[in-house]
């Protein structure tokens, strides 16, 4: 009786909660996340990407240069930062057809540059936080407007979303996953409305706005990340099953649009994007890098991949719902899977149509939130076993999964209420889960600090302190900060000095040795503009880069120009090797 009165009172007060309060709460979590991350980290792969995006190379040339953007850097716990700055260990550069995410990466780095310029340096992702706020608003609207849940449930799921380590600690990485998570939330929301309308006998009219959102989202999501492509395939499969049993015009239209998006992605990946890359940067990307993967090992080690995938699934599940022990996670997963079957068992009088819709909804949710995720995790473990490392389990890779979990659990909340579980009990369990997430934050931070990224966390703190005092950079004592290429970039952006003249030359040589020829040319070009007295050095080194790229006419022209400025050794060497006449 006491709990019923409590729920009546909370129902009355919760009606005052609006979308404005949701945005305010989300902004509070942004502040907490930014403070918790202490300005973020310069991840080992961020160094050359940041400087590439902030270079003077035209934007389209940057976005369609996967040879630089997708270069991987070997992460080795035993490699000292000093050695890392001397020479990055760069791997292959596969073409991944996710140029749309590169545009948002560029925006993130420009925002970081702006903040450094005005005296508030950080290495956090603007896109991550804006998308997370938007996703939170969509989750709340989904709970309140579509599921008709008490607004406190909407606030509860919003808070669980924000306090998960993937979201709260994910503000310092690339944008592809969080953008996939956002579009996945849009698709989940829109498809739910379409499916709800398909339950009606007549072909109910769907607004043009919903059709536009669905079409734009399902065409865009594969261009952000491979996870987006996987989810498009999962959506098409679910729509095909639904359309087979519930014949409805809107479902068939959605199905055709989904298949058209796959066709468009294929055209873009194998024809449009490679052609644009060649037109803008003069090379053809490595489109078929998947062919080099030894698929025979996937069959031999399938049990290992599945077990690792199941472990990742359990961790994502429990990291969202209170960070309880894995065994409790397994029990809760089993309960969520079989409780709908129990509902069918205790309600044998359901009409045939209602029973069909209920079973279809159950199968679809089970597919998208369990079986499909296990399959996707297995593929991810197969392609990159490193994601099973403890600190990777807390990373940004799982943003789309968190969105699927939250929206599925919101639907399950409505189902549990129908099952007769008191609302007060569900709210109490939700509060316990929120407290568990908050209490686990220090533990998750310790996992990150004890990983191979620990040295970068420590160095990033020193680097941020130096960037806060750019006007007194001569007082910097830390030799690693002085050697840092990001430090050099912002220092020489602020001042003109003989030191910076040498820095541009050093950075150009550094990029040349790392195989980043375009970035090297950009540094030499900027040096020529800012320090004309050193043109002979810059133009000679630029000529060597052109020769390495096979552009012999441009290379020989630069070397002859350098020789006219009394730097003739590079030209003599090129003549001896037969490159120049």
What DSSP string describes 500-568? HHHHHHHHHHHHHHTT-HHHHHHHHHHHHHH-GGGHHHHHHHHHHHHHHTT-HHHHHHHHHHHHHTT--
Q: Are 162 and 168 in contact (CB under 8 A)?
A: yes
Per-residue confidence at 71, pLDDT binned at 50, 70, 90? low
In this predicted model, which residue has the larger pLDDT, 120 or 353? Answer: 120
Give the model confidence (pLDDT) of 399-440 as tens digits: 999 999 999 999 999 999 988 888 889 999 999 999 999 999
Choose the most confident range, by mean pLDDT, from 199-208, 271-280, 490-499, 546-555.
271-280
Per-residue confidence at 149, pLDDT binned at 50, 70, 90? very high
CA-derived radius of gyration, the chain: 27
Place of tokens 């020989």: 556
**Helix or strand run (H / E) with residue 197:** helix 176-198
Q: Decide if pLDDT at 33 tops 50.
A: yes
Q: Decide if pLDDT at 34 tops 80.
A: yes
pLDDT recorded at residue 229? 95
Q: Decide if pLDDT at 5 tops 80.
A: no
In this predicted model, which residue has the larger pLDDT, 89 or 272? Answer: 272
In this predicted model, which residue has the larger pLDDT, 71 or 352? Answer: 352
pLDDT recorded at residue 330? 92
In this predicted model, which residue has the larger pLDDT, 74 or 531? Answer: 531
Region 22-31: what's the mean pLDDT?
A: 96
Give the model confidence (pLDDT) of 291-301 as tens digits: 444 454 455 67
Mean pLDDT of the chain: 85
pLDDT recorded at residue 203? 52
Report the C-alpha gap between 122 and 99 in whole angstroms: 24
Region 528-541: what's the mean pLDDT?
A: 84
Q: Are 221 and 231 in contact (CB under 8 A)?
A: yes
**Helix or strand run (H / E) with residue 380:** helix 372-383
Q: Are 70 and 90 in contact (CB under 8 A)?
A: no
Region 154-161: what's the mean pLDDT?
A: 96
Flag whether the pTM goes above 0.85.
yes
Reading the block at residue 101, the tokens are 């995410």
Region 68-85: what's the mean pLDDT?
A: 52
pLDDT recorded at residue 131? 96
Q: Decide if pLDDT at 190 tops 90.
A: yes
- Percent of the chain, pLDDT > 90? 43
């Amino acid at each position: 009786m006491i709990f019923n009165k409590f729920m009546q009172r909370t129902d009355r007060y919760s009606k005052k909660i609006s979308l404005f309060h949701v945005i305010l709460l989300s902004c509070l979590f942004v502040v907490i996340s930014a403070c918790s991350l202490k300005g973020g980290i310069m991840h080992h792969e961020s160094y050359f990407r940041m400087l590439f995006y902030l270079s003077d190379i035209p934007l389209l040339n940057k976005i369609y240069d996967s040879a630089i953007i997708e270069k991987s850097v070997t992460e080795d716990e035993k490699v000292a930062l000093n050695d890392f700055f001397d020479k990055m260990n760069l791997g292959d550069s596969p073409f991944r057809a996710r140029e749309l995410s590169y545009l948002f990466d560029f925006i993130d780095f420009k925002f970081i540059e702006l903040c450094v310029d005005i005296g508030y340096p950080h290495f956090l992702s603007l896109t991550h936080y804006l998308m997370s706020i938007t996703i939170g608003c969509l989750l709340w609207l989904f709970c309140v407007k579509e599921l008709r849940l008490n607004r406190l449930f909407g606030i509860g799921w919003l808070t669980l979303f924000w306090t998960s380590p993937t979201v709260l600690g994910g503000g310092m990485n690339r944008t592809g996953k969080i953008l996939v998570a956002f579009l996945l939330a849009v698709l989940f929301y829109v498809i739910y409305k379409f499916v709800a309308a398909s339950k009606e006998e007549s072909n109910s009219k769907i607004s043009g706005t919903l059709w536009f959102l669905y079409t734009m989202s399902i065409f865009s999501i594969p261009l952000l990340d491979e996870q987006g492509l996987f989810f498009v395939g999962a959506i098409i499969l679910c729509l095909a099953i639904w359309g087979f049993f519930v014949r409805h015009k809107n479902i068939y239209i959605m199905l055709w649009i989904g298949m058209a998006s796959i066709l468009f992605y294929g055209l873009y990946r194998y024809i449009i994007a490679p052609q644009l890359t060649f037109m803008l940067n003069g090379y053809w990307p490595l489109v078929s890098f998947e062919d080099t993967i030894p698929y025979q090992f996937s069959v031999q080690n399938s049990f290992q991949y599945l077990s690792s995938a199941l472990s990742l699934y359990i961790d994502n599940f429990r990291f969202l719902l209170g960070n309880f022990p894995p065994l409790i996670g397994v029990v809760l997963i089993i309960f969520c899977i079989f409780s709908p079957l129990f509902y069918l068992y205790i309600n044998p009088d359901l009409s045939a149509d209602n029973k069909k819709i209920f079973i279809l909804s159950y199968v679809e949710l089970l597919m998208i939130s369990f079986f499909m995720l296990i399959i996707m995790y297995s593929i991810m473990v197969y392609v990159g076993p490193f994601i099973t490392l403890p600190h990777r389990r807390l990373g940004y890779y799982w943003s789309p999964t968190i969105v699927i979990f939250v929206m599925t659990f919101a639907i399950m909340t409505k189902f549990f209420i129908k099952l007769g579980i008191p609302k007060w009990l569900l709210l109490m369990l939700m509060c316990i889960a929120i407290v568990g997430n908050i209490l686990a934050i220090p533990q998750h931070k310790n996992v990150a600090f004890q990983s191979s990224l620990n040295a970068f966390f420590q160095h990033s703190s020193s680097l941020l302190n130096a960037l806060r005092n750019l006007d007194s950079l001569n007082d910097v004592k830390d030799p690693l900060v002085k050697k840092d290429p990001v430090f050099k970039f912002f220092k020489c952006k602020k001042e003109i000095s003989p030191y910076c003249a040498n820095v541009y030359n050093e950075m150009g040589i550094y990029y040349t040795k790392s195989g980043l020829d375009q970035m090297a040319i950009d540094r030499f070009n900027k040096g020529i503009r800012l320090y004309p007295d050193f043109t002979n050095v810059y133009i000679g080194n630029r000529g060597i880069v052109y020769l390495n790229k096979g552009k012999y006419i441009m290379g020989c022209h630069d070397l002859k120009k350098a020789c006219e400025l009394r730097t003739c050794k590079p030209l003599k060497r090129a003549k001896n090797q037969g490159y120049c006449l």
